[in-house]
Amino acid sequence: MSAAAARPAPDPVAEGPAAHRAGFVAIVGLPGAGKSTLLNRLVGRRLAIVTGKPQTTRRRILGIARRPGVEIVLLDTPGVHRPKTRLGHAMMRAVGESLGGADVALAVVDAALPFSDASSGLLRRVARFPGPRVIGLNKADVASPRRISELAAIYRAREAGEVVVFSARTGAGIASGVRTGAGIASGEGVGGAAPLVEVLRRSLPFSPPLYEEGQITDLPEAFFASELVRERMLRNLRQEVPHAAAVRIEEYDDSRDLVRVEASVLLDRDSQRGIVIGRRGRMLKRIGTEARRALEKRLRRRVFLGLQVKVRRRWRDNPGILRDLGLDA
Ligand SMILES: Nc1nc2c(ncn2[C@@H]2O[C@H](COP(=O)(O)OP(=O)(O)OP(=O)(O)O)[C@@H](O)[C@H]2O)c(=O)[nH]1
Ligand SMILES: [Mg+2]
C-alpha cells in the first residue's frame, strides 16, 4: 500500500473534470460507530458484517468505491478499544497499519452519543495523522440536531478535521443526487455542506485508478463465508459467546455447481459448546441455515455449508490459530 507522502500534492491548476483522483481512506472509530455500515454503503455491496454488538470487525477490510473522477479505496478497521488479548492487540495493529498506509483519515463518530473519554482518545490518535482528516458524524437519522451541533462544535474547536454529518444507514449526507426521508438532502450534505463523497474526493491525491475496474475488494470469497457464519452467531447468541468464537474455513470449493464450504467454529471454553449447539442441535442448525442462505444470496449459487464446533482454549491468545484465521500476520 502506497504512503500518502509518495504522491505529489494536489495541484489546483491541474484540477478539472479530467483530473482523476484515487487513494486510500482509513475508516477508524470506536466500536459500533457505524464504520462497516459506511463501507458497505459506499461500496454498494455488503463486504463487512454489521451487528449491534461492539467489536464486530476484527481485521482490516478493503473496499473500493468508484464515482465519476475518483476511486476511493476504503479501509474499514476494528473499533478502537483497550485490548485484553492477543487478538485485541492484532485488531489495534490493524487500525495503526491502515492509518499508516492511508491518504485520508476518516473518523466515524456515533452522533447519538455524547463526547466521552473514549472519543478524546480516538481524537488524539487521529490528530497524529499527517494527511487530511475528516470527522464523520454518523447516525444523523437518529441523533438529535442539538447533539449533532454540540459534537460538531467540539470537533471544530479541536481542529480535528473537516466535519461531515451523514447517516450510513439511510445514505443521507453521503453522496450527491439522492434525497432521503431523513431530513437531509444528501446532495447537499447538512446545512448546505458538501456530502461525504465530495469531501473525500477533494481530499485525495491526483492519481489514475489503483485497482482494476470491477474489483471491489482484495479479500477472498472464503473470508466472506466465514464472516457470514460469524455474523449469524453474533446475531443469535448472547454477548460473551460470539466474542469468544471464531470461524475457520477448512474447505472452500466452488469448482462445481454446488459450492462446498466446510467450516469450524472455534470456541474458548467447553461450557460454550452447549450454547452454540443448543438443545437437540437447534442453535447450530439455525446458524448454519441462516449463514448458508446469506451465502447463497451473495454468490447467487447453491451452497453446502458444513459446520463443526471445536473448543480451542484461549485461542484469542494463540498466535498459530490467529495466523490461521488471518488475524495476526
Ligand atoms: N440509526 C443508525 N444506525 C446505524 C447507522 N450506521 C450504523 N448503524 C448501526 O450501528 C450498529 C453498528 O454498526 P457497524 O457498522 O457494525 O459499526 P462498526 O463501527 O463497524 O462496529 P465495530 O466493527 O464493532 O467497530 C449496527 O446496529 C448498525 O445498524 C446509521 O447511520 N444510523
Ligand atoms: Mg465494523
pLDDT in tens, 70-99: 999 999 999 999 999 999 999 999 999 999
- pLDDT of 49 higher than 60: yes
Stretch 186-202: mean pLDDT:
75
Strand partners, 305: 261
Better-scored residue on pLDDT, 9 or 27: 27
pLDDT value, residue 287: 97
Cβ partners under 8 Å of residue 261, min gap 6: 222, 225, 249, 251, 252, 253, 295, 303, 304, 305, 306
- pLDDT of 10 higher than 60: no
For the ranges 35-39, 232-236, 325-329, which has the lowest average pLDDT? 325-329
* C-alpha cell read off for 313: 482454549
Better-scored residue on pLDDT, 303 or 187: 303
Average pLDDT, the chain: 91
pLDDT value, residue 238: 85
**Using one digit for the tens of pLDDT, what is the confidence trace for 97-116?**
999 999 999 999 999 999 99
By most ligand atoms within 8 Å of CB, the mutation choice from 75, 82, 169 for ligand 1 is: 169
By most ligand atoms within 8 Å of CB, the mutation choice from 37, 113, 142, 169 for ligand 1 is: 37
Residue nearest to atom 11 of ligand 1 (CA): 52
**Using one digit for the tens of pLDDT, what is the confidence trace for 301-311?**
999 999 999 99
Could you tell me the distance, in angstroms and rounded to a whole number, from the CA of residue 91 to the centre of ligand 1?
Answer: 18
Stretch 118-132: mean pLDDT:
96
121 lines ligand 1 (CB under 6 A): no
With vertex at residue 98, the alpha carbon angle to CA 94 and CA 103, rounded to the nearest 5 degrees, is 175
- pLDDT of 188 higher than 60: no
Give all domains of the chain, ordered by start, each with its CATH number.
4-203 (3.40.50.300), 221-324 (3.30.300.20)
**pTM of the predicted structure, to 2 decimals:** 0.91
- Residues 268, 315 contacting (CB under 8 angstroms): yes
pLDDT value, residue 187: 43
Stretch 37-50: mean pLDDT:
97
173 lines ligand 1 (CB under 6 A): no
Among 123, 32, 139, 119, residue whose Cα is nearest residue 79 = 32
pLDDT value, residue 329: 61
Residue nearest to atom 10 of ligand 1 (CA): 34
Strand partners, 63: 74
**Using one digit for the tens of pLDDT, what is the confidence trace for 130-143?**
999 999 999 999 99
- Residues 124, 96 contacting (CB under 8 angstroms): no
46 lines ligand 1 (CB under 6 A): no
For ion ligand 2, residues whose CB falls within 5 Å: 35-36, 56-57
